[in-house]
Structure 1
């Protein structure tokens, strides 16, 4: 399972319906022995100042570990996959972060992407039948 910026944001702060949905999906993934991944570039999108940074760092500290979120860095193989996803969808670099989210799911051999921005992610993931986009919006 891969988390995008909206799914990661839902994990911070007070309990909300969206937060409960993300946590329930994460629990199901862990029970099934699946990884939960967030691309590092998603974190770059979310780090926006001291207060928000502290909330995100606290969330990552709480949610990472042996049964937590794996932060996937962008290396050469990920960059190549992201470029291919952008090219296949016929879009530019404005979709870079979303393409990383799809690439992380493809790299896992398929899986679920949790998002509140399903339209863009469905367009990017269209060639990959084993990637399912779930709208938590």
Structure 2
């Protein structure tokens, strides 16, 4: 899941696009990608162009940094996303997943379960 926190000035998106490219597009310099976010509840669609891959190891992963002021109209909530490779002829779906968009005053709470018990069974603390 990609976490999009609109409270922060920049958003880092780390995905594996280059390694998932169809063979006919391998070696294309400065490929163009677009992330299409679809709100799970309202079905509104929002597009984020992904440019300037800043990954230090592009064969393994792709890293994009986005100024959150450019996506400030994005509604909070849960989204599905699709990332497309855009070529002159057509577009090709490269990756899909889910995203959570946090807005002003919202925070992401991580739940950590602590293990307690003996070797016969495990009990998680409340």
- Interval containing the TM-score (normalised by the shorter chain): under 0.3
Q: Which TM-score applies when normalising by structure 2? A: 0.25
Richer in helix (by share): 1
Larger Cα Rg: Structure 1 or Structure 2?
2
